[in-house]
Amino acid sequence: MIHSIFFINNSGDIFLEKHYKRVIPKSICDYFFEEVTKNSSPENVPPIIQTPNHILISIYRAQMHFVAVCKSEVPPLFVIEFLHRLADIIKDYFDEVSETSIKDNVVIVYELLDEVLDNGFPLATESNILKELIRPPNLLRSLADTMTGRNSTVSATLPTGQLSNIPWRRSGVKYANNEAYFDIVEELDAIVDKFGGAVCAEVHGSIDCLIKLSGVPDLTLSFVNSRLIEDASLHPCVRHRRFEVERLLSFVPPDGGFRLMAYRASCHGNLPVPLDLRHTISFKQASGNSGHLELTVIPRPPSGRQLEDLVLTVPMPRAVSGASLVASAGKYSYDTASRTLVWTVGRLDSQKGAGSPTLCGTLVMQTGAPVPDCRPSILVSFSITGWTISGLKVNRLDLHGEKYKPFKGVKYVTKAGKLEFRT
């Protein structure tokens, strides 16, 4: 299925490669680089690239491209999902997905690549199973390996989960404190026109879990309004048939952290965008070669909630060489190289009556440059804790198969995904 995997950074350097059936030259990536040069953003590179003799399937994560090379037709979504799973494994092992973390732990990365694919076919992709095979990096273990000249990261025994009918969970799990935590995170992707109406809107969500339960627990998670869930992507531990019939999640969980489900929430009518944006952007005044900008954020969070981590990004035309602005809240910066204005507002409390934060001032234009005829869009990011924009809520969590009573917790977070305000 997968003949080779290449890790490529934003500079176009192939800093790691792994071959399974036979060595494929790096020159195959020239087709990929051609597509990179055609697109303004690395996120816009086509995920599937057809070449005369190969198929290149790629994803873009953490300023890196993960490229899989296949010689025959394969289900592309299967390969894309595998590459995302590989990036998640690297993050779980090294706490971040970056070129630096991969280079610092290159031996462990190659050991993981040997285990996740068997002759090009996915084999073991569960982190808790892999951690029994290949131990995560540890400072004391690294010092001992350096002194003794041995490699203690690879276990000498086969993981118990590989021999059972529950391959995602190791046996003999015991905890003094049994806990189960669920994070329901939703992202709002929307385009808002200059009159404040939503041109299009979509909500994507996920349920991330941290399960530390002894034995072999059988959990059932039910929702108050499960019909809001559409296009669900379930973890292999979930009993799919029962979810389709009863709209609940019944599963024997892996040990530790994992993503239980990703979904798209149904949107009936307009979604409540938790803020309004008033904007005035002009690039030519009556006197002088300067423009004017004024942005005002009007927070409209749900009752009792607060907007946090609010950031506004405005990509300016090339004719704008600088900005002289005053912010009533937060701080701003202007990158002259990328012509990007970033206003970091931070946290907003609508109940304090402090007014709406405003950014206003002058835009410095290049001398002799023509007046831009385009209107820049404003990209907004934020987060709200304790609320989901779709209204999805957990009803209850039931435990079967074990006699203890675990501690349970659910956290709701709403974030801005690709939220764009047009001017």
Name the band, by pLDDT with cuts 50, 70 and 90, for residue 153.
low
Q: What is the mean pLDDT of residues 224-246?
A: 91
Residue 270: the pLDDT is 61
Q: Decide if 179-270+389-421 and 275-385 have a common fold.
A: yes
Rounded to an integer, the average pLDDT of 113-119 is 91
pLDDT at 411 exceeding the cut of 60: yes
Query: What strands lie across the sheet with 358-365, from one edge to the other?
Result: 275-282, 290-299, 358-365, 320-327
Q: Which residues does residue 257 pair with via DSSP β-bridges, in sequence order?
A: 210
- List the chain domain ranges: 2-141, 179-270+389-421, 275-385
Q: What is the pLDDT of residues 281-298, one digit of tens each?
A: 888 754 566 788 899 998
Question: How would residue 111 be classed by pLDDT, with cut points 50, 70 and 90?
Answer: very high
* Cα 104 off chain centre by: 23
Q: Provide the CATH topology of domain 179-270+389-421.
A: Immunoglobulin-like (2.60.40)
Kindly report the CATH number that applies to the domain delimited by 2-141. 3.30.450.60
- Contact status, residue 9 vs residue 103, Cβ threshold 8 Å: no
Strands 407-421 and 179-192: parallel
The CATH architecture to which 275-385 belongs is Sandwich (2.60)
Q: Which residue has the tokens 């068997």?
A: 118
For residue 210, which of 239, 177, 183, 243 has the smallest C-alpha distance? 183
Task: Describe the crossing of helices 76-94 and 106-116 by its angle, rounded to 10 degrees.
Answer: 140
pLDDT at 370 over 90: no
**pLDDT value at residue 60:** 94
Q: Average pLDDT in the 100-110 region?
A: 92
The CA angle 239-240-241, to the nearest 5 degrees, is: 100
What is the band of 163 on the pLDDT scale with cuts at 50, 70, 90? very low
**pLDDT exceeds cutoff 80 at 160:** no
Counting residues of the chain whose pLDDT is more than 90, the rounded percentage is: 52
pLDDT at site 407? 94
**How confident is the prediction for the chain on average, in pLDDT?**
87
Question: Does pLDDT of 161 surpass 80?
Answer: no
Q: Is the pLDDT of residue 138 over 50?
A: yes
User: Given pLDDT bands bounded at 50, 70 and 90, which one contains residue 372?
Assistant: confident
The mean pLDDT of 215-236, rounded to a whole number, is 91
